[in-house]
Chain A
Amino acid sequence: MNPPEEDQAPNVASQGVTLVRESASPRDHLGGEILTVNFGPQHPSTHGVLRLIVDLDGERVMGVKPVIGYLHTGIEKQMEALRWQQGVVCTDRHDYLSPPINNLAYALAVEQLLGIEAPPRAKVLRVIMSELTRISSHLVWFATSGLELGCQGIFFYCMRERDFILGMNEEISGYRMHTSYIRPGGVMADATPRFLDMLADLIEKMPGHIDEYEDLLTHNPIWIARTKNIGRLPAELAVELGASGPVLRAAGVAWDLRKDRPYSGYEEYDFDVVTAQDADCYARYLVRVGELRQSVRILAQALKKLPGGPFNVDDRKVLPPPREELETSMEAVIHHFKLFTEGYSPPAGDIYQAVESGRGENGCYIVSDGTHKPRRVHFRSASFVHLQALERMAMRQMVADLIAIIGTADTVLGDVDR
């Protein structure tokens, strides 16, 4: 680790106490050494199996080295062994807090290679699922960050709402979490009337719930003391280090893939890109609260404009025919057979598709060689990039602030390690 450079004057000087020497670190006149501490992979506050090797000068962090790979699942290799339509199942599981958004990146990439486009109803349903997922992912963020910094109450409030949203997932797809709902060609199933009722209920009640969370945290002096001026990542540094999502928007850069590189019909919705100016942990918290409100706004618009029509593209070479047709049409049987034994083969080429997840830019890069299995699937992970920026955010902060900083970077280790 690099030796500490010249220290700034400690805060105590501003309170009128004269020091023996100016710009002295306690280590200079007390002796001692840099202590290397292991935040092991099993730790309650590292948001998953992240290992940090931290160099400490007393309580001050002098260096952080994240060691990852404890959740490496070989998803990219696994997808090379599965057919294109089977790969959707694996895309759910790398960023496990936002499965439909990962599905969407993969589905959009495959659709571009195949040269097909999802019908309008499917696009709106995709937006609904993406925004629901963004809300539920941010709720987990509120719950765990609050819990780590001492606010245990918000965990219970957020999980209550998240249970409701997972119930909606279950209503529309049968699964609470890994829905595999968004697939190349459209979506898995149509929205049931009960799902639409639950959605209307959520849109009505969610702003009140967000006010509850804000009551607990936004003006809470403990929360402010633990997150204000902690972990600053100013705008130029954030762009240089590849940050995206709330980490970038909290530095004042109004970059949101939904507005700047829109997909799945996002250009038709009216919503704001929430930014903050301070680039610290508190700013990232404010950005996420704002995003919750904007997501509810998008959901209200999507519910109103949900068009009728098919929820899948009508291309029998990509999606199987409805089961009733198998009794009457020979062609339908052949299509069904071909799809479920061999699967479709997109033409050779490569596509990079990025979508805006709760963490930032999650991208899917696929390479097809013209066969029914991918040659290469790579996931660009926002958490992977943010972990690299961790050392710059945490340098010279207290070790307890390190927890707050990892929390606000909102890393999901499944996404980092894939």
Chain B
Amino acid sequence: MTTDQLSLPEWVEAEGVVAGQHWIQVPRERIRETLTHLKSQGFGSFCMMTAVDHLVTPVAEPGPERFELVYQLRNMSTHTEVRIRVFVPESDPAVPSVHDIFGPANWDERETWDMFGISFGDHPDLTRILMPEDWVGHPLRRDFPVGGEPVDFSEDHETWQTAPEEA
């Protein structure tokens, strides 16, 4: 599915295609205008919104900023989709909210706040949605540990081993 007929606004910073999927990159101040523009072009269905943490690791290439917000829109009459990427710096993780343009973005933004700590201006209820209200930290950031318990193996515990006669 190609989006050749898509007319892009002039503030689009970059665009590309990955495995047949079209994406555009816009500055974060223009996200509301971008989504409104695309909605007027027929992309009226909101598929999903999420964030990616590009924390630098020894093996991975760094992104332009630490956080990348990804919005996926669909045009139900031409059956095409487009992905909008917005890069958000770590020092000021704030983006305008789009919940009034696309209804499903409401809870997606709450989840992104909960999991990544990216705040959305003008969101009516920016509170934790998946973690308990008093949780500290944003779990899906790459520097938040996976957590859990170390797995205990019986070879590390002498008293757990059964003697050969009892086995």
Contact = CB atoms under 8 A, between A and B. Distances in A.
Asked if A and B are interacting partners, one says yes
Interface of A: 68-69, 72, 74, 76-78, 80-81, 112-113, 115, 239-242, 255, 260-261, 348-352, 354, 361, 363, 365, 367, 369-371, 375-376, 378, 380, 384-385, 387-389, 417-418
B145 to A, nearest CB: 9
Contact of A242 (B23, B45, B52, B146): B45
A380 B104 CA distance: 11
A122 to B, nearest CB: 19
Contacts of B115: 76
B76 interface: yes
B97 interface: no
Nearest to B52: A376
B39 to A, nearest CB: 10
B19 A112 contact: yes
B146 A376 contact: no
B102 A242 contact: yes
A122 B52 CA distance: 32
B104 A352 contact: no
Nearest to B105: A242
Contact of A68 (B19, B53, B72, B129): B129
A261 B79 contact: yes
B61 A384 contact: no
B121 interface: no
Contacts of B129: 68-69
Given A69-B128, A350-B70, 17 more contacts: A69-B131, A72-B131, A77-B139, A113-B19, A240-B44, A242-B47, A242-B103, A261-B79, A352-B21, A352-B72, A363-B47, A365-B50, A367-B52, A369-B60, A376-B52, A380-B47, A387-B107
B61 A348 contact: yes
Nearest to A349: B18
- Does more than half of chain A's interface fall in helix, strand or loop, or is it mixed? mixed
Contact of A365 (B61, B72, B132): B72
Given A69-B131, A242-B102, A352 B60 contact: no
B59 interface: yes
A395 to B, nearest CB: 15
Contacts of A240: 44, 103
Contacts of B18: 349-351
A68 B131 CA distance: 9
A89 to B, nearest CB: 15
28 contacts: A69-B131, A69-B132, A72-B130, A77-B144, A78-B146, A112-B20, A239-B44, A239-B45, A239-B76, A241-B103, A242-B102, A260-B79, A350-B23, A351-B19, A352-B83, A354-B47, A365-B50, A365-B72, A369-B59, A369-B61, A370-B61, A375-B60, A376-B52, A376-B53, A376-B140, A378-B50, A380-B48, A388-B107
Most buried by A among B18, B115, B147: B18
Contacts of A380: 47-48, 72
Most buried by A among B47, B106, B142, B146: B47
Contacts, number: 103
Contacts of B20: 112
Contact of A388 (B1, B61, B106): B106
A69 B130 contact: yes
A371 B59 CA distance: 7
B40 to A, nearest CB: 14
Contacts of A78: 146
Contacts of B83: 350, 352
A404 to B, nearest CB: 23
Nearest to A354: B47
Interface in B26-51: 44-48, 50
Interface in B95-121: 102-104, 106-107, 115
B76 A242 contact: no
A184 to B, nearest CB: 14
A182 B130 CA distance: 28
B130 to A, nearest CB: 4
Nearest to B141: A77
A349 B132 CA distance: 33
Contacts of A350: 18, 23, 52, 70, 83
Interface in B52-77: 52-54, 59-61, 70, 72, 76
A208 B106 CA distance: 44
A173 B93 CA distance: 45
Nearest to A71: B130
Contact of B48 (A74, A260, A365, A371): A365
Given A69-B129, A240-B103, A352-B21, A81 B146 contact: yes
A388 B107 CA distance: 7
A285 B115 CA distance: 35
Contact of A384 (B52, B102, B107, B142): B107
A351 B20 CA distance: 9
Nearest to B48: A380
A264 to B, nearest CB: 16
A367 B147 CA distance: 22
Nearest to A348: B61
Given A239-B44, A385-B104, A388-B106, A375 B52 contact: yes
A399 B106 CA distance: 25
A74 B139 contact: yes
Interface in B121-153: 128-132, 139-140, 142, 144, 146-147
